[in-house]
Amino acid sequence: MTEDPVKLYVVVMAILLCVLGFVAWTSYKEASAYEAALQRAPKEAEALKDVAADVSALCDQLSKSKLRRGYKTLILDAATMNRLKHSHSGAMKDESVGRGRRGTLKRFNYVFGGSRMSPPATRDQIARFCRQVENDSRSILKTLEIKLSRYTGAGEPAAGHQEKVMDDRYKGTIIFGFQVIE
């Protein structure tokens, strides 16, 4: 093959043509991908701007709320301010309710009025307490459920009797919660 320079020239040129064709084909594919990305860029930039605004608003909401020390601390501080004592001596019950489509639901149960250390509360106290928890957390914590039963202490009629109720005091459980989006 080296004896005929024309054959050698044709073979080398064919190899160079194949290499050049491969380089041109891959460059064309990359250029097409870059062009498609350039076409999508304005839409993705708008979406990114919207997400950044949402994240900024959430960070602002968290910085203005009183959640720096934790959810339980915020609930206990609101209860102290509204004179609503927790009836359990230990920590407040915290539970994660199963995963859903949008993430995990975190719940905090606050039990009151069940012992001497935790006297029953009026409906007004309970409403102010729930409102303060939601306001202090900037509506991150929501009141999910309120379970109340009328307190029947010594000398008071039992629930369901026709006698006149003189005192409007209740014991029960308040459930606060929020959704962790994953």
Residue that wins the pLDDT comparison between 140 and 27: 27
d(CA 94, CA 171): 20
What is residue 173's three-state secondary structure?
strand
Please check the confidence at residue 162 and state whether its pLDDT lies above 80: no
Write the DSSP string, 54-121.
HHHHHHHHHHHSS-TT-HHHHHHHHHHHTT--BS-SSPPEEEEEEE-SS-EEEEEEEEESSSSSS--B
Residue 62, pLDDT score = 73
d(CA 58, CA 86): 30
- Evaluate whether 151 touches 166 at the Cβ level (below 8 Å): no
Residue 178, pLDDT score = 82
What is residue 15's three-state secondary structure?
helix
Residue 91, pLDDT score = 45
- Evaluate whether 153 touches 91 at the Cβ level (below 8 Å): no
Average pLDDT taken over every residue of the chain? 81
CATH fold of the domain at 71-180: Alpha-Beta Plaits (3.30.70)
- Domain extents for the chain? 1-64, 71-180
Which pTM value belongs to this model? 0.60
Residue 110, pLDDT score = 87
Residue 89, pLDDT score = 42
Residue that wins the pLDDT comparison between 42 and 154: 42
Residue 36, pLDDT score = 92
Reported confidence tier of residue 101, pLDDT bands at 50, 70, 90? low
Residue 171, pLDDT score = 84
Please check the confidence at residue 1 and state whether its pLDDT lies above 60: no
What is residue 172's three-state secondary structure?
strand
Each residue's pLDDT tens digit, 36-95: 999 999 999 999 999 898 888 878 777 777 777 778 888 888 888 888 877 664 445 556
Of 124, 135, 120, nearest to 169 by C-alpha is: 120
